[in-house]
């Protein structure tokens, strides 16, 4: 299901939750008003018109409420379940070590609704991405962070890699600083080697 269809269903939910009940409440007030009028006024054309309007409003509001409820109920999965973060999180963390986001979205789409065949890939991508970023910031175990960074697809993605390194810097700054120091030493060695080779080449040329 694409985002446009999701918005349409959300509009239906608004009808179900707010507009239909409002019509019913207004109908109730109108009913009370008609009863008061019937007591105070008799044989009034205005009263007859109010009664007809009341019947009309009730006959319209009840079907709207019923249809809105049924449509929202049918699509409850799409509107609500995808944002059930615990369910998504449990599945993602159970399967993410060997899969990437695209593969997970395909599986999650089937897991959430096998019978209706609803395509919720866009929503799942957003949910998975949000969950991974949020969960990375919750990890306090140095080994887990290193594993995610160096041994899984998560660490191969530049966005997640930066996030993992930032988190690692907060959890174990000495590791990141040591790695940076080693990286700088390697770069320095590389530069020294390059300069040495250039000087050697220059000396041989001058001879």
6, pLDDT greater than 50: no
Predicted confidence at residue 96, as pLDDT, reads 61
Cα–Cα nearest to 170, from 136, 133, 130: 136
Cα separation, 201 vs 162, in Å, equals 40
Instruction: Lowest mean pLDDT of 25-39, 62-76, 94-108, name the range.
Output: 62-76
DSSP state of 97: T
Higher pLDDT, 199 or 89: 199
Task: Express each pLDDT in 86-95 by its tens digit.
Answer: 555 556 666 6
Helices 45-74 & 3-14, crossing angle to 10 degrees? 140
51, pLDDT greater than 50: yes
Listed in sequence order, the DSSP H helices in the chain are 3-14, 20-40, 45-74, 76-80, 85-95, 101-112, 121-138, 142-151, 158-171, 173-206
Predicted confidence at residue 105, as pLDDT, reads 64
Predicted confidence at residue 182, as pLDDT, reads 75
Per-residue confidence band for 137, with pLDDT thresholds at 50, 70 and 90: confident
Average model confidence (pLDDT) for the chain? Answer: 67
Predicted confidence at residue 13, as pLDDT, reads 55
Predicted confidence at residue 175, as pLDDT, reads 78
Cα–Cα nearest to 156, from 107, 100, 204, 202: 100
């Amino acid at each position: 299901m694409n985002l446009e269809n999701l918005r349409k269903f959300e509009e239906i939910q608004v009808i179900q939750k707010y507009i239909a009940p409002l019509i019913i409440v207004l109908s109730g007030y109108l009913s009370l008003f008609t009863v008061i009028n019937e007591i105070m006024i008799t044989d009034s054309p205005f009263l007859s018109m109010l009664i007809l309007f009341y019947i009309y409003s009730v006959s319209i509001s009840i079907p709207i409420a019923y249809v809105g409820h049924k449509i929202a109920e049918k699509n409850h999965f799409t509107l609500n379940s995808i944002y059930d973060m615990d369910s998504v999180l449990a599945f993602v963390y159970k399967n993410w070590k060997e899969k990437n986001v695209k593969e997970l979205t395909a599986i999650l789409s089937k897991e959430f609704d096998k019978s209706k065949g609803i395509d919720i890939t866009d929503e799942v991508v957003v949910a998975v991405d949000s969950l991974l970023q949020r969960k990375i910031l919750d990890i306090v175990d140095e080994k887990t962070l290193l594993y995610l960074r160096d041994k899984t697809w998560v660490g191969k993605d530049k966005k997640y890699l930066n996030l993992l390194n930032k988190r690692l810097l907060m959890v174990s700054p000495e590791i990141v600083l040591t790695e940076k120091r080693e990286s700088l030493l390697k770069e320095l060695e590389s530069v020294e080697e390059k300069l040495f080779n250039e000087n050697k080449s220059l000396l041989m040329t001058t001879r």
